Amino acid sequence: MQRTTLDLWVGIFVIIGIAALMILSLKVGNLNLSGSTQSYVITGNFENIGGLKVRAPVKSAGVVVGRVTNIQFSTQTYDAIVTMDMDSRFLFPKDTFASILTSGLLGEQYIGLSAGGEGVMLKEGDKIMKTNSAMVLEELIGRFLFDKASE
């Protein structure tokens, strides 16, 4: 085969391959070309995290504003310390309320933030004071039965 046609075909092949990689990262994945966004880290103590996992989204009003980066157990307070990586475009007041919610009936769990009214904003390394645990189905049913019985 002629050298130039060979080069042409291989060129087309490599371009298609690189284009496939680009499509995978941009269209299928969630890579942002607008540069790596600045972030700040905050933590929160939860009594029960249910099925929350690392890399679960942190949402406020349904919009993803950060991600869970680490979950640890504290031996001092016997609860879970959840570390969140927040997009620094979104600042939240100090008295923001964090609760663990479930998307849909069987969906994944995420952290929902509802902003408070204080003027001071959360910054790097701060801790969310007001948290709400995950809803555990057994506890809920137990409470329901208990209420029914006492009626």
Binding footprint of another protein on the chain (CB under 8 A): 1, 3, 6-7, 9-10, 12-14, 16-18, 20-21, 23-25, 27-31, 55, 57, 64, 104, 106-107
Residue nearer to another protein on the CB measure, 107 or 119? 107
CA dihedral 126, 46, 78, 50 (to 10 degrees): -140
CB of residue 69 vs another protein: minimum separation in angstroms? 12
The nearest distance, CB 144 to another protein, in angstroms, is: 24
Min separation Cβ 104 and another protein, Å: 7
CB-facing half-sphere around the CA of 110: CA atoms within 13 A: 20
Q: How far is the CB of 21 from another protein (least distance, A)?
A: 5
**In the block, which residue shows the tokens 């349904």?**
62
135-139 own/partner pairs: CB under 8 Å, 24+ apart: 135/50, 135/100, 135/102, 136/48, 136/50
